Structure 1
């Protein structure tokens, strides 16, 4: 089993814990399987399901609306579109576009893959494999490996590099392949087709105009670009390429984004400071994880006095006491991401275990039964 983002040690700890009657992870397992059963009764997601294709006329092209794009009346008559910073349009999440569909697809793969891992019931692995083939391989339903029409503004911009953040969850697909590997549901031909898809997409990310636009962002969008491209290079067997992205990002991202106290100036100056800070921190934690696989200790790397750990330590008091956050957005709006960040940080920063566990266990009660506890279950000897 090859996992890139998840850690087999955490999964094995969770499986051992579940073997003990009455363990608190039982509630998380029940919710996971309930959702997996529901997904098995629903058809796979596909980009060709949208009612209107992308501007190029091909339904296989991914299409999303810039989240801050709104229709507006023009002084000269007629209607148009404009972007309003910080004012999110709920239409961007409708199924006229592919953003919500992509998010459902990646979450579907991970849920079904985890359900197979924790039960060994082939129906879950089969459903995960069907979804992966539908989105990436089958000629009738596959997505083309580019985002030329992501974050579009009708009548103005065909696509923008900022749309690359919408594919940040593709790690769930890649790790679901590892989770279901022993089921035999994906063969060598399937895996070769997937590596071709992700290799082509990785090349597009750096060599196309829109893809490179995503790379040059100096905030969480740029860090997410690095994390994605690193993962895709690892998945395609290009360890040297992955290491190059990581090393270059130490200066471009780590040293440039954090101050010595862990504050992120660009994030704090944005419309949603906590969300932007947390998204960037999560992308850095993913890069820390991927760096392990090319023998780079990024968890403890100090670059020009800047550390990822300092970024975590700056946000941690606000994760524990959300009302202390002094800026305009709300910490409570990001509870799922906070939990995921804390669990990943607990894996990488064991010496901060006590305070991280306290923050995790202090979250709302309903968060204690989330799937994330199964995926990143910490060492019980320190619980």
Structure 2
């Protein structure tokens, strides 16, 4: 049962590190300082972003409009849905799992990815910068981007996803589209490390109000309720988003109830004793989705510490399931070409490094050598920079180098 709290005055105003720790970010800073090559690579990603205009929900290609009459409403189309070649008008679209229709890239989803990746890259560079002036400069640009997307009334996104992952000929939006805002939890975690002179209490309060309104929509809308009933990575990431947004909005009771009443149950329902995740193995990108789903569970477990739930040390059955899932996947993280299930596109390893790194923040020291075997970049262990399930390309503006 979901614990629902109506949008209301916020309960707390703290810069919460949702699922990473300051220790992990400090290690990242130390590695950057000790590795000039990595430092130059990160700066090559972040520096061009200083000259880029802030990305907004309104920056749509000419002629490509939302099905909503309000241009501030987010919209996307189902990425794996294509025109039906047997129909003159192609409608309704038909599903081709794992194959992305180019129309997907003309919607708001790629712009949201660009926005999030921009904020994360700038936040990482700000945190790594030894000079306070440089740190403030990168931090201020990150804050400017967040304000443009969420806080400026002229350019902000409305806090709902009624038109996410629509299917031409079938529907204007679906509950499944709520997966599109998964990336926002990584942005919220990253901005908690921005310099205080860049990200102000007023900014934080404004963003908490936006998140609070979105949380309310997630828990009460038809699309949100539908997504909460999904049994694969969609259900996992619905819970992860509710927990993250509830924590950010100061509603720890909602976060705790979601963890206890839903998220822990999902771990046991979705992970077999051998560590496999059958719902994800059924996909055409089985390794990618197995990794993505497990990352969601690790994020949930790490966020649980904020409500005094320590899964790693106090819940042996759940921690054993998560450990089995990591052990099942690690051989394929190292040699993805040996994956015995479907993986129709090249596997990208950034997500694997992040989930193992997060799992080792407070427990699971046994995975540290496995992380090193994957040859991580310094930032791979503390944030989700330049990577998603479908592709690693196109998230940052073209002027920026790639991680």
Specify if TM > 0.5.
Answer: yes
Asked if 1:295 is matched to 2:305, the reply is: no
Q: Give SS of 2:93's match.
A: strand
Asked if 1:333 is matched to 2:343, the reply is: no
Q: Distance in 1 between matches of 2:96 and 2:126?
A: 42
* 8 Å CA contact retained: 1:28, 1:368: no
Q: Which moved more, 1:3-12 or 1:319-328?
A: 319-328
* 1:207-258 Cα shifts (integer Å, max 9, x gaps): 1111111111101110011111101100111111111111112453012111
Cα 1:325/1:18, change in 2 over 3 Å: closer
Within the candidate set 362, 373, 381, 2:373 is matched to 362
Within the candidate set 373, 376, 379, 1:371 is matched to 379
- 2:123 paired residue number: 113
Q: Distance in 1 between matches of 2:353 and 2:346?
A: 11
Any residues of structure 2 matched to 1:204-353 within 5 Å, and which?
204-300=217-313, 301-303=315-317, 307-329=321-343, 332-353=346-367
Cα 1:58/1:375, change in 2 over 3 Å: closer
Within the candidate set 164, 170, 173, 1:156 is matched to 170
Q: Distance in 1 between matches of 2:202 and 2:263?
A: 36
* 8 Å CA contact retained: 1:74, 1:80: no
Cα 1:250/1:233, change in 2 over 3 Å: closer
- Tell me the CA shift for residue 33 of structure 1: 1.4
- Tell me the CA shift for residue 360 of structure 1: 2.8
Q: What is the number of residues matched between the two proteins?
A: 363
* 8 Å CA contact retained: 1:5, 1:289: yes
Q: Distance in 2 between matches of 1:306 and 1:374?
A: 23
- Tell me the CA shift for residue 330 of structure 1: 6.1
What value does the CA root-mean-square deviation take over the aligned residues? 2.3
Cα 1:73/1:327, change in 2 over 3 Å: closer
- 1:379 paired residue number: none
* 8 Å CA contact retained: 2:190, 2:383: no
Cα 1:53/1:375, change in 2 over 3 Å: closer
* 8 Å CA contact retained: 2:263, 2:300: no
- Tell me the CA shift for residue 200 of structure 1: 1.0
Within the candidate set 46, 54, 64, 2:66 is matched to 54
Within the candidate set 80, 88, 100, 2:110 is matched to 100
- 1:132 paired residue number: 146
Cα 1:18/1:267, change in 2 over 3 Å: closer
Higher RCO (CA 8 Å, separation ≥ 6 residues): 2
* 8 Å CA contact retained: 2:139, 2:194: yes
- Tell me the CA shift for residue 91 of structure 1: 1.6
* 8 Å CA contact retained: 1:215, 1:222: yes
Cα 1:315/1:215, change in 2 over 3 Å: same
Q: Distance in 2 between matches of 1:211 and 1:374?
A: 29
Cα 1:306/1:347, change in 2 over 3 Å: closer
Greater helix fraction, Structure 1 or Structure 2: 1
- Tell me the CA shift for residue 342 of structure 1: 2.2
- Tell me the CA shift for residue 113 of structure 1: 1.1
* 1:35-54 Cα shifts (integer Å, max 9, x gaps): 11111111111111113332
- Tell me the CA shift for residue 123 of structure 1: 1.6
* 8 Å CA contact retained: 1:68, 1:89: yes
Q: Give SS of 2:357's match.
A: helix
Q: Give SS of 1:253's match.
A: helix
- Tell me the CA shift for residue 79 of structure 1: 3.7
Q: Distance in 1 between matches of 2:351 and 2:319?
A: 27
The runs of 5 or more residues in structure 1 that have no matched partner are 377-383
- 1:36 paired residue number: 46
Within the candidate set 124, 146, 161, 1:147 is matched to 161
